[in-house]
Amino acid sequence: MAIAIKRVYDAPEASDGVRVLVDRLWPRGVSKERAELDEWLKDAAPSPELRTEWHHADADRFDEFAARYRAELDGNPAAQALLALAGERERVTLLYGARDAVRNHAAVLRDWLGEHGAAVER
Protein backbone atom coordinates (compact mmCIF):
# COMPACT_ATOMS: atom_id res chain seq x y z
CA MET A 1 0.00 0.00 0.00
CA ALA A 2 1.21 3.51 -0.74
CA ILE A 3 -0.22 6.99 -0.28
CA ALA A 4 0.67 9.61 -2.88
CA ILE A 5 -0.50 13.17 -3.50
CA LYS A 6 -1.24 14.85 -6.79
CA ARG A 7 -2.91 18.00 -8.06
CA VAL A 8 -6.43 17.30 -9.27
CA TYR A 9 -5.58 19.40 -12.33
CA ASP A 10 -2.93 16.86 -13.43
CA ALA A 11 -4.02 14.14 -15.83
CA PRO A 12 -5.27 10.92 -14.21
CA GLU A 13 -3.03 7.89 -14.66
CA ALA A 14 -3.72 4.19 -14.22
CA SER A 15 -0.91 4.10 -11.63
CA ASP A 16 -2.87 6.51 -9.37
CA GLY A 17 -4.85 3.63 -7.91
CA VAL A 18 -7.82 4.88 -5.88
CA ARG A 19 -8.23 8.61 -6.50
CA VAL A 20 -9.58 10.55 -3.51
CA LEU A 21 -10.25 14.29 -3.54
CA VAL A 22 -9.42 15.69 -0.10
CA ASP A 23 -10.50 19.32 -0.66
CA ARG A 24 -13.55 20.72 1.08
CA LEU A 25 -14.50 22.74 -2.02
CA TRP A 26 -14.79 21.39 -5.56
CA PRO A 27 -11.77 22.53 -7.63
CA ARG A 28 -12.54 25.33 -10.06
CA GLY A 29 -12.68 24.37 -13.72
CA VAL A 30 -12.51 20.58 -13.22
CA SER A 31 -15.43 18.44 -14.32
CA LYS A 32 -16.33 15.29 -12.43
CA GLU A 33 -15.55 13.29 -15.56
CA ARG A 34 -12.09 14.83 -15.93
CA ALA A 35 -11.27 14.34 -12.26
CA GLU A 36 -11.99 10.59 -12.46
CA LEU A 37 -12.55 10.37 -8.70
CA ASP A 38 -13.26 7.26 -6.76
CA GLU A 39 -14.18 9.24 -3.64
CA TRP A 40 -14.52 12.79 -2.38
CA LEU A 41 -13.72 12.99 1.33
CA LYS A 42 -14.53 16.62 2.13
CA ASP A 43 -14.28 15.96 5.83
CA ALA A 44 -10.63 14.93 5.53
CA ALA A 45 -9.82 18.53 4.58
CA PRO A 46 -9.07 21.21 7.17
CA SER A 47 -12.08 22.68 8.94
CA PRO A 48 -13.65 25.69 7.23
CA GLU A 49 -12.25 27.98 9.93
CA LEU A 50 -8.68 26.65 9.56
CA ARG A 51 -8.89 26.63 5.76
CA THR A 52 -10.08 30.24 5.66
CA GLU A 53 -7.44 31.39 8.12
CA TRP A 54 -4.64 29.60 6.24
CA HIS A 55 -5.87 30.90 2.89
CA HIS A 56 -5.26 34.44 4.08
CA ALA A 57 -2.10 33.74 6.08
CA ASP A 58 1.55 34.22 5.31
CA ALA A 59 3.28 31.13 3.89
CA ASP A 60 5.79 31.43 6.75
CA ARG A 61 3.02 30.25 9.08
CA PHE A 62 2.71 26.86 7.36
CA ASP A 63 4.17 24.99 10.34
CA GLU A 64 1.50 26.49 12.58
CA PHE A 65 -1.20 25.52 10.08
CA ALA A 66 0.21 21.98 9.82
CA ALA A 67 0.24 21.55 13.61
CA ARG A 68 -3.36 22.73 13.91
CA TYR A 69 -4.48 20.52 11.01
CA ARG A 70 -2.74 17.48 12.53
CA ALA A 71 -4.65 18.12 15.77
CA GLU A 72 -7.89 18.14 13.77
CA LEU A 73 -6.93 14.90 12.03
CA ASP A 74 -6.34 13.11 15.33
CA GLY A 75 -10.07 13.13 16.04
CA ASN A 76 -11.34 13.02 12.47
CA PRO A 77 -13.35 9.95 11.34
CA ALA A 78 -12.60 10.78 7.67
CA ALA A 79 -8.87 10.48 8.39
CA GLN A 80 -9.52 7.09 9.97
CA ALA A 81 -11.49 6.08 6.87
CA LEU A 82 -8.48 7.01 4.72
CA LEU A 83 -6.24 4.86 6.92
CA ALA A 84 -8.61 1.93 6.43
CA LEU A 85 -8.75 2.53 2.69
CA ALA A 86 -4.95 2.63 2.52
CA GLY A 87 -4.87 -0.73 4.27
CA GLU A 88 -7.22 -2.25 1.72
CA ARG A 89 -5.69 -0.88 -1.47
CA GLU A 90 -2.29 -1.09 -3.07
CA ARG A 91 -2.20 2.62 -3.88
CA VAL A 92 -4.27 5.65 -2.88
CA THR A 93 -3.69 9.06 -4.46
CA LEU A 94 -4.89 12.07 -2.50
CA LEU A 95 -5.97 14.84 -4.87
CA TYR A 96 -5.83 18.53 -3.99
CA GLY A 97 -6.32 21.81 -5.82
CA ALA A 98 -3.66 24.02 -4.20
CA ARG A 99 -0.96 25.51 -6.41
CA ASP A 100 1.89 24.89 -3.97
CA ALA A 101 3.00 21.27 -4.32
CA VAL A 102 4.98 21.35 -1.07
CA ARG A 103 3.01 23.47 1.41
CA ASN A 104 -0.55 22.21 1.21
CA HIS A 105 -2.98 20.29 3.37
CA ALA A 106 -2.69 17.09 1.28
CA ALA A 107 1.03 16.89 2.10
CA VAL A 108 0.22 17.25 5.80
CA LEU A 109 -2.51 14.60 5.49
CA ARG A 110 -0.17 12.21 3.65
CA ASP A 111 2.47 12.62 6.36
CA TRP A 112 -0.12 12.15 9.11
CA LEU A 113 -1.29 8.93 7.45
CA GLY A 114 2.34 7.78 7.28
CA GLU A 115 2.78 8.45 10.99
CA HIS A 116 -0.27 6.27 11.62
CA GLY A 117 0.87 3.21 9.70
CA ALA A 118 0.31 3.91 6.00
CA ALA A 119 3.22 3.72 3.58
CA VAL A 120 3.75 7.08 1.89
CA GLU A 121 5.34 8.08 -1.35
CA ARG A 122 7.22 11.34 -1.69
Q: What is the pLDDT of residues 26-40, one digit of tens each?
A: 999 999 999 999 999
Q: What is the pLDDT of residues 8-17, one digit of tens each?
A: 999 999 999 9
Q: What is the pLDDT of residues 91-121, one digit of tens each?
A: 999 999 999 889 999 999 999 999 998 888 8
Distance CA 3, CA 121 (A): 6
Task: Say how many Å lie between the first and final Cα of the chain, rounded.
Answer: 14
Asked if 47 contacts 75 with a C-beta cutoff of 8 angstroms, the reply is: no
Residue 57: per-residue pLDDT: 65
Asked if 116 contacts 57 with a C-beta cutoff of 8 angstroms, the reply is: no
Q: pLDDT at residue 67 above 90?
A: yes
Residue 53: per-residue pLDDT: 82
Q: pTM to 2 decimals?
A: 0.93
Instruction: Write the CB contacts of 77 (distance below 8 Å, at least 6 apart in sequence).
Output: 43
Asked if 31 contacts 13 with a C-beta cutoff of 8 angstroms, the reply is: no
Residue 81: per-residue pLDDT: 94
Residue 96: per-residue pLDDT: 97
